[in-house]
Amino acid sequence: MGFPGTWMTESESVVYRVVPKCACSTIGQIMYYSDHGAFFDGDIHDATKGMHKWALEDSHKLIERNVKGHKSYAFTCVRNPYTRILSSFFDKICGIQRNGKRYRGNLVPLLTQKYGIEVEGDFDQIASFRRFLLFARDTIRWRRPMEPDIHWSAMSGHVSTFIVNGGRYDNIFFTEKFNEGMQSVLDAIETAHTVDLATIPRFNESEGHGPKRAHPVADYFDDLSMHLVYEIYKRDFTLFKYDFENPGNKMPLGEVDLDEVHAKLGD
């Protein structure tokens, strides 16, 4: 299995387990900058040099040796499940991707046909999103009409592979408290180049892909939608201390208990 979704600086100053839709573009660029004193020119997900990634075969042995020996500080970042699934919908379902095409080719026509989802013109965002939630639940619960996508599969699933295969996190912080969390990582490691978070741009690679959200977050979630979200993301709410009862409250209710995360996701 190895360590899918794991990135490591070339200097091996820090190891990061990517969780999609949780500030991963900005985190990747900060890691790249900390080694090279400049940002990667383009989407950091496309970088094949300047950083070790599990997706690059040449990086496998280095990452595996480092993570299993816990040679470097290891961290990840999580996000409120309500805002994360909403972001996935607007980016991946409604948006045009950076290659100029719809995400995963025939996915949107499939959703239109099977779930009645609309994404063109002045569509009903709330109705289409709630139908997308049904689709997301079907992919995660029954793996149909397709396997679950990394952008809406549970964060705990991404986080767990690192633990199950022999890794241990030193820090799990919140997208909603990004500067505070990222600073705690930078304070714990030595970098070739100083990173000033106050001046670092936010590399939101999905921004502008799709239509803007027309309503407050809470408006997208009625009782049934909240039930579906809880069915999909129960472990995420529990482990990462987010407020299931109030979709309008994006902030965590407490700090992540690392011992609890390792115990419950290490099975």
Give dist(CA 209, CA 217) in Å, integer. 19
Per-residue pLDDT of the chain (267 residues), as tens digits, is 799 999 999 999 999 999 999 999 999 999 999 999 999 999 999 999 999 999 999 999 999 999 999 999 999 999 999 999 999 999 999 988 878 888 888 899 999 999 999 998 899 999 999 999 999 999 999 999 999 999 999 999 999 999 999 999 999 999 999 999 999 999 999 999 999 999 998 887 655 667 889 999 999 999 999 999 999 999 999 999 999 999 999 999 999 999 999 999 997
Strand partners, 171: 75
**pTM of the full structure:** 0.95
Q: Residue for token digits 């952008």?
A: 151
